[in-house]
Amino acid sequence: MTRAQTARRLPVLSFVGALLVAAPAPPRAAPARARRLPWIVDAARAKRELAAGALLLDVRGAKAFAAGHVRGARRVRWQTLSRRGRLAPRARLQRVLRGLGVRAGQSVLVAGDPARGWGEDGRVTWTLRTAGHRRAAIVDGGVRALKRLGLSMTKTITAAGMASRFEVRLGSRWRLDRAAVRRRLEGKRTRFVDTREAREYRGATPYGEVRGGHLPGAIHLYYKTLMGRDGCLLPRGRLRAKLKAAGLADLKAPIVTYCTGGVRSAWLVVVLKHLGYRDVQNYAGSMWEWAAKPTASHPLVKR
């Protein structure tokens, strides 16, 4: 190549080089922590999230936790985040969540013993979401599902790490109070769902309620009918069929769930949100609160 040819090509090569430098790099796949986290994850997804730095909260009892838990898990009781059904005050919530090491940008997975429990995993997940954490999720099947997948188990309790600076921002999107329940009952548009056992719906009071019965017009849907014996959710098609049979086919209709102390009902809120229901709220005070109020203004039906 002659000097003249080289001289003519240099401007062209410089122009092409500039284009390559200026061109944007091809988009990268979002890291696991940046992707949207559904309200419920299976054990395989949970394992990936944990490998990426997720926090695991174990909501089982002290004996079960001491007998064996996933390495690195931290135990929390739903009662620690509550005050007889209702959420604890913001300051207390923030103190407890910070002590657990909950961080805003981190996935927080909640595992329990769904087949034997009371929906504690749902209650803690609902609490986290209501407190403003966007990446909290139930582990479907709980600790047993993680163990079956081969996650390392231990009896050694993990020492508390450094406290976080998580800022609680309580929202009302997935909860409502007693006054709002009274207004909704008068409005007749909201579908109330009683997630308790059939005997409780009919009027039994085995868990300390002052009065028995259910809210006028409430649908009965015992929450455990939506899971198998292993504590895992039923397949999506069967879930849809059961919800439709209960009168909950409309994904847009306003729904309020309740139980005795807002635990089983919180679990159902998580499941319904996971399935795409748009307007679902938990009445956290539930029957502990409602049944203690005057009968005339807080009616209950027995049948």
Polymer length of the chain? 303
For residue 70, what pLDDT is reported? Answer: 98
Q: What is the CATH number of the domain that holds 55?
A: 3.40.250.10
- Please give the Cα distance from 211 to 209 (Å, whole number): 5
- Check whether residue 202 and residue 111 sit in a common domain: no
Residue of 264, 268, 261, 278 lying closest to 87 (CA atoms): 261
How would you write 32-95 as a 3-class SS string?
Answer: CCCCCCCCEECHHHHHHHHHCCCEEEECCCHHHHHHCEECCCEECCHHHHEECCEECCHHHHHH
Residue of 111, 59, 108, 63 lying closest to 80 (CA atoms): 59
- Check whether residue 120 and residue 210 sit in a common domain: no
pLDDT digits over 98-120, tens only? Answer: 999 999 999 999 999 999 999 99
Question: Tokens at residue 110, please?
Answer: 């909640």
For residue 22, what pLDDT is reported? Answer: 38
Question: Tokens at residue 142, please?
Answer: 């709980």
Question: Tokens at residue 79, please?
Answer: 């009662």
pLDDT digits over 117-139, tens only? Answer: 999 999 999 999 999 999 999 99
Least confident of 159-168, 197-206, 258-267: 159-168
Residue of 75, 72, 69 lying closest to 147 (CA atoms): 69
For residue 25, name the pLDDT band (cuts at 50, 70, 90). very low
Q: Which one has a higher pLDDT value, 158 or 247?
A: 247
Please identify, among 125, 154, 183, the residue that sits at the C-terminal boundary of a domain: 154
- The answer to whether residue 29 sits within a structural domain is no
How far from the centroid of its chain's Cα atoms is residue 95's Cα?
20
- Please give the Cα distance from 291 to 209 (Å, whole number): 6
Task: State mean pLDDT over 290-295.
Answer: 98
31 pLDDT exceeds 60? Answer: no
Name the residue range of residue 109's domain: 40-154
Least confident of 3-12, 118-127, 214-223: 3-12
- The answer to whether residue 222 sits within a structural domain is yes
- Check whether residue 138 and residue 210 sit in a common domain: no
- Check whether residue 48 and residue 150 sit in a common domain: yes
- Check whether residue 179 and residue 293 sit in a common domain: yes
- Check whether residue 143 and residue 190 sit in a common domain: no
pLDDT digits over 56-84, tens only? Answer: 999 999 999 999 999 999 999 999 999 98
What's the whole-number average pLDDT of the chain?
90
- Check whether residue 179 and residue 285 sit in a common domain: yes
- The answer to whether residue 67 sits within a structural domain is yes
- The answer to whether residue 8 sits within a structural domain is no
- Check whether residue 207 and residue 281 sit in a common domain: yes
For residue 159, name the pLDDT band (cuts at 50, 70, 90). confident
- The answer to whether residue 189 sits within a structural domain is yes
Q: Please, what sign has the CA dihedral across residues 282, 285, 288, 292?
A: negative
Domain count, the chain: 2
- The answer to whether residue 1 sits within a structural domain is no
- Check whether residue 149 and residue 187 sit in a common domain: no
- Check whether residue 78 and residue 107 sit in a common domain: yes
